[in-house]
Amino acid sequence: MTKYLIIGAGIAGATAAETIRERDSEGEITLISGEPELVYNRILLTKYFKAKLERPRLFVKTPESLAAKNIIVKLGVLVKNVDTVAKTVILDNGEILSFDKLLIATGGAPKKWDVLGVEKKGIFHFQTLSDTEAMAQHAKGAKAAAVVGGGFISLDLIDIFLHNKIQVHLFLRGPYYWKELMDEEQGLRLIKKLESLGVVVHTNQTIIEIKGNTSVQAVKTNTGLEVAVDIVGYGIGLERRLDFLAGSDIKTNQGVAVNEFLESSVPGVYAAGDAAEFFDGTIGKTHVLGNWDNAMHQGQRAGLNMAGEKAPYQELTSYSMSIGGLIVATVGNTVVADSDEIIVRKNENDYIKILLSQNKVIGAAFVGGIKDLMGIKKLIVEKKELSPEVKEKLKDPFSVI
């Protein structure tokens, strides 16, 4: 009987556990959760904050549903150490568990914000259910909010604060939104939309101090600007919790380094979800990724491979959200430095930036609409050199790919 141990009970870990059980009816499967709750859909946290969704509907797995599949669940405990020679892990409650196959699916935690006064009440990230509930409670009496960060999390924060009729101040370090991904016109289109929704956008500004006694009263920037706010939301990236792997011989970089089969440098040890630094065959690149769909599909593939299959993980990465009716989306490889040609498709409503490498589409960023998303996905997956006809069609902002 094979002993499967899964560290992390998010969507990657829980999906892996269920997938293993489908292929191995006899194996012992243990799922370790650092949170007191089991798997909930983080994508739905915005709806929950807005009171458009009841709390029970967030949960996609329960201890009961997993127990019915003979999956052991340990809630509210953390792994302190992994011994890949003895094939054991030590939990923070002193318990020692053994394994034959191990999956690391510990996700990521928000990066610590190194700013003076960050310990004050009223400062939130937007990662967990407990974050959301604490922020929703504080937001009830808030009149003005500061949002920090230039990614999807900051757009989520803007969306929920506006829903609560809170004046939003967005602080961007650069001259426009998502400078690493978007060009100036595309980034400014997004800013214009946010301003039309009532957001005050402060470009080229970095918050250096949170002012107030015990609670937030204002923020101060590097230029001396002070803005009165009573709640702050930030999204400045994720940190992978990998300290418990020290001395384990499991190679780590930004995440647990795994191959296309999601197996680490130690045979029988796998990683999936935010914790994995994986080789993405669809774009031919190794990277880390925080994405619900990616975590779910990686969990499934890791589970299949742990249970005896050996097939590579191949799933095209994409993400999208809507704010005020404007859709912001990315697909494939959006690192501009990895491209040698950029095609821009734009009209009054849509702006699409398409990245090419060696005359092949590798990724795209959308602001406006996504009617061309499926066509661009197809081109990325096919990995074919573009014919002159297809390339001309890509350049036509009114054609449908």
CB 327 within 8 A of CB 321: yes
Sign for the pseudo-dihedral over CA of 397, 350, 400, 329: positive
pTM of the model: 0.87
Is the per-residue pLDDT at 116 higher than 90? yes
**pLDDT recorded at residue 315:** 83
Q: Which residues of 299-326 are buried (b: 16+ CB within 10 A; e: fewer)?
A: bbbbbbbbbeeeeebebbbbbeeebeeb
Query: For the segment 235-247, what is each residue's pLDDT rounded down to a tens digit?
Result: 887 788 888 999 8
The SS3 of residue 157 is: helix
* Percentage helix, strand, coil for the chain under 3-state DSSP, each rounded to 5: 25, 30, 45
Q: Which position has the higher pLDDT, 107 or 163? A: 163
**pLDDT recorded at residue 333:** 86
CB 261 within 8 A of CB 312: yes
**pLDDT recorded at residue 126:** 84
CB 281 within 8 A of CB 258: no
Query: For the segment 274-314, what is each residue's pLDDT rounded down to a tens digit?
Result: 999 988 776 677 878 767 788 899 999 999 999 999 999 98
CB 16 within 8 A of CB 272: yes
| Cα distances (angstroms) measured from residue 165 to each of 46, 144, 193 | 15, 9, 17
Q: Which position has the higher pLDDT, 140 or 36? A: 140
Query: For the segment 120-130, what is each residue's pLDDT rounded down to a tens digit?
Result: 999 998 888 88
Domains of the chain: 3-109+238-306 (3.50.50.60), 123-234 (3.50.50.60), 319-395 (3.30.390.30)
Nearest to 169 by CA among 191, 148, 140: 148
Nearest to 263 by CA among 309, 294, 229: 309
**pLDDT recorded at residue 143:** 97
Once rounded to an integer, what is the mean pLDDT over residues 384-393? Answer: 90
Q: Which position has the higher pLDDT, 400 or 233? A: 233
Residues 398, 401: Cα–Cα separation, whole Å: 9
CB contact set of 196 (below 8 Å; sequence gap of 6+): 324
Query: For the segment 313-362, what is each residue's pLDDT rounded down to a tens digit?
Result: 988 888 888 888 889 999 988 888 888 999 999 888 889 999 999 999 99
**pLDDT recorded at residue 112:** 84
Residues 72, 242: Cα–Cα separation, whole Å: 23
